[in-house]
Amino acid sequence: MMHRRVSVLGATGSVGSSTLALMDEAERAGTARFTVAALTGGRNIERLAEAARRWRPELVVTVWPELKADLEHALAGTGIAVAAGEAALIEAALQPADWIMAAIVGVAGLKSTWAAAGTGAIVGLANKESLVCCGPALMARATTAGGRILPVDSEHSAIHQVFPHERPEGVRKLVLTASGGPFRQTPASELEHVTPERAVAHPNWSMGAKISVDSATLANKGLEMIEAAWLFSMPEAKIDVVVHPESIIHSLVECVDGSTLAQMGPPDMRTPIAYALAWPKRMPWQAPPLDMVSLGRLTFEAPDTERFPALTLARQALRAGGAAPAIFNAANEVAALAFLDRRLAFLNIAAVIADTLEMASASDLVGGSGDACEAALAVDQEARRLARICLDRREQAA
C-alpha cells in the first residue's frame, strides 16, 4: 500500500482542500496511508485547525502573525506545534516530507515552493506563478536536490500524462486547451462593465478567486503557456492554445509523425492531484466516469485575442524572456486583485499588464544579486511598483 509523508502548503484553499479530501478518501478506502509533516494556510483559521485536527501534522502555520493566537486557541490541548509568519512558512516547507503540495496562490508562494524544491521531495506544483517567475532555476533546483516538480495544473498534468519524455524530439507541438472562461461569448461592449461576481463564476471549474479572474481574462492561459515552456523545455513557437468550452480534453501533444495524444476527464482537480500524489503509480478515488455518449460532442475554436489581449501579452513576455514573464505575472496579480476590489474595470486588467510591460522595458528592469528566487522576487517587487503607477493612471482616466 502506498504510504507518503506529505506537506500541504496552502492547505485551506481550493487545491489544498481537494488534496486533503483525496487523501482522506484513500485512507478510508484503505488504498493509501499518509503521514502529514506540515500544513499551512492564511486567514481561514477554522479550516486550517480542522485539517490539523484530522491530520495531526508536526507543524501547522498561518502566514499571518496576527492570527497565531486564534490558531493556538483553536488547537489548544492537541499538542500540535503552531507557528506564524513568513519564516514559519519556510520552516513548514523544509519539514522532512517525500511529497509536498505547493498550492499557495500567487508569487506569495514562491519562497516556500523554492524551499520545498530544495529538499529533494516531489513537489506537486499548483502554484504556477512561482514557475512563471523563476522557471528554469526552480526546475533545476528540484533536479539538483534529487527531487522533481510534478505539475498539478490540469493542462500540464495532461501533457505530463501523455508526453513521451524518452523521445522529446518526437514532439511537434503542445496544445493547451482553454475553456474560454465565463465571458467567452460576451460582446466586447459588455466586457467593460462585468462584475467580479460574474468573473469568478467559472463555467466548468470551482477554483479560488484569483485564478478564476485569470481564466476570465485568459491571463491564466498566458501563465500556463509560460509554465509549459519551463516544465517541458518547449520554445514559445511550439505552444498553441485552443478554446475547448467543455473542458473535457485537458491538453494535447502533437507528434511529428501525425499522432496527436490527448488526456481527457471530467473537469475535476482531484484527477490531476491524484496523478501527482500517486506518481508513478495511479491511485483510485470515486472519480465520476467520462460518459462519452451523454457528452455527445466536443467543440473547439480559436482564442479571441482581440477581446482577451492578455494571452498575446503573455506570449510576447515568454518570447522576450529574461524578467518579462515575472513582470507579466506581477502586473497581472496587481490588476486582478484591484479588479476583485472593484478598483479597476475588467478590460483594464490587460491594459495595466501592457502598460507595465512597456514601462518596465523602458527601465530595463533586472533582478538584483542573490539566488534566482531572490532575483525573481526583486523583479516582482519593482514590477508591482510600476504596475501600481499604471493602475493609478488607468483609474484616474476612468
Ligand X SMILES: CC(=O)[C@@H](O)[C@H](O)COP(=O)(O)O
Ligand Y SMILES: NC(=O)C1=CN([C@@H]2O[C@H](COP(=O)(O)OP(=O)(O)OC[C@H]3O[C@@H](n4cnc5c(N)ncnc54)[C@H](OP(=O)(O)O)[C@@H]3O)[C@@H](O)[C@H]2O)C=CC1
361 is in an annotated binding site: no
Burial of 394 (0-12, 13-18, 19+ CB in 10 A): buried
- Residue 112 interacts with ligand X (CB under 6 A): yes or no: no
Is 222 flagged in the annotation as binding? no
Nearer to ligand X, 214 or 382 (CB): 214
Which of the choices ligand Y, Mn ion, ligand X, none does residue 103 contact, using the CB cut-off of 5 to 8 A by kind? ligand Y
Q: Which residues pair with 39 in a beta bridge?
A: 8, 60
Q: Is 15 in the site for ligand Y (CB under 6 A)?
A: yes
Site for Mn ion in 131-170 (CB under 5 A): 153-155
- Cα distances (angstroms) measured from residue 52 to each of 40, 94, 309: 9, 18, 42
Q: Is 204 annotated as a binding residue?
A: no
Binding of ligand X by 303 (CB under 6 A): no
Q: From residue 211 to residue 240, what is the string marking binding to ligand Y with x (rule CB under 6 A)? A: x-----------------------------
Binding to ligand X by residue 179, rule CB under 6 A? yes
Residue 295 Cβ, how far from ligand X at the closest point, in Å? 17
Our finding on whether 231 is near ligand X (CB under 6 A) is no
The answer to whether 129 is a known ligand-binding residue is: yes
Encoded one letter per residue, x for contact with ligand Y by CB under 6 A and - for no contact, window 78-107 reads: -------------------------xxx--
Longest dimension (CA), the chain: 63
Is 380 an interacting residue with respect to Mn ion (CB under 5 A)? Answer: no
173 is in an annotated binding site: no
348 is in an annotated binding site: no
Q: d(Cα 25, Cα 19) in Å, to the nearest integer?
A: 10
**Nearest distance from residue 262's CB to Mn ion, in Å?**
15
Among 16, 180, 222, 367, binds ligand Y (CB under 6 A): 16
Give the closest residue to 229 by CA, choosing from 143, 128, 357: 128
Q: Where along the sequence are the contacts to ligand X (CB under 6 A)?
A: 153-155, 178-179, 181, 205, 211, 215, 220-221, 269
Binding residues for Mn(2+): 153, 155, 224
Instruction: Name the binding residues for 1-deoxy-D-xylulose 5-phosphate.
Output: 128, 154-155, 179, 202, 215, 220-221, 224
